[in-house]
Structure 1
């Protein structure tokens, strides 16, 4: 399995699980992940938000951890990366106002490189105008954003070519498995231990 160099677009109040879990899981299987944020450098942090689903009409939000970036945004050349990860939370709403972020995002689609977006990450894809004719998903309230952008909406983890999308952090197992398959990452699945009789 070749190791890939993966770019992860973070920002202030990125969703805690949606940035921490893929950042760690992708490194665990051997990939190099550069987590970046506009106007920040390696060693800087992004505060995170914990979004939960507690029976209300939408998610609740609580303070999360500080997520430490490990690469300088200004040093990013998207041509150096094999894939892109866009977590959700509140960050995509403001990240889409940066022209550099939109250009980076467009590069991965123009070059047909793997892209994994979760939850509100689809806001960034819509703003980059890369969803025309693509099937994807995101946080359910964003269905209108996807359709207005020319995309097709589907519930649950969705794969359209090299684009893998999920609705929120509860989708991590299936979303990450699909993304690893797109990356060509072979992960041996452990067999459950036999129960003693």
Structure 2
């Protein structure tokens, strides 16, 4: 049904324990047809490696069983609100040509981010294959360089729901985001032990 009309779907809740095909494979097939449709994975698997693999397959959120129906509904609503917000710039009309200095909405000494094209660059090299959540996470951190964000704050600002104790969602996304950043340059997302994460590119020159 999804293959017949990928653009007609608002959101997908996908159980990984399916009778005929593994949910990870289904998620991969969905992502091959649509890069933007939000996916929430539901699973009894509760390891960090499973979550990382789920996000790598294209999930935007991950809920482990048992879970409260209220929690699931809250996450669905939050993910849908976020998806509509992200789509708004693309639906507002054609983009005008911008000067090099004005085309980025977030800039630091070594980093540039364009919210319209949803591209991010480290020293002029594009960070590849950012998922919607990785892009939003990177944007949130980079907008306030060197400010430390707790996992609870990132859940609220990036995932747009209150903290329900599932901070591994943040950790798994940070891990994948770091891997992609390291393909093009030094690491700019730092762990502040016992607190959370921050964006800091002040040491980039020293790390080259």
TM-score normalised by length of structure 2: 0.26
Structure whose CA Rg is larger:
2
Instruction: Give the structure with the larger helix fraction.
Output: 2
TM-score normalised by length of structure 1: 0.27
Instruction: Give the structure with the larger strand fraction.
Output: 1
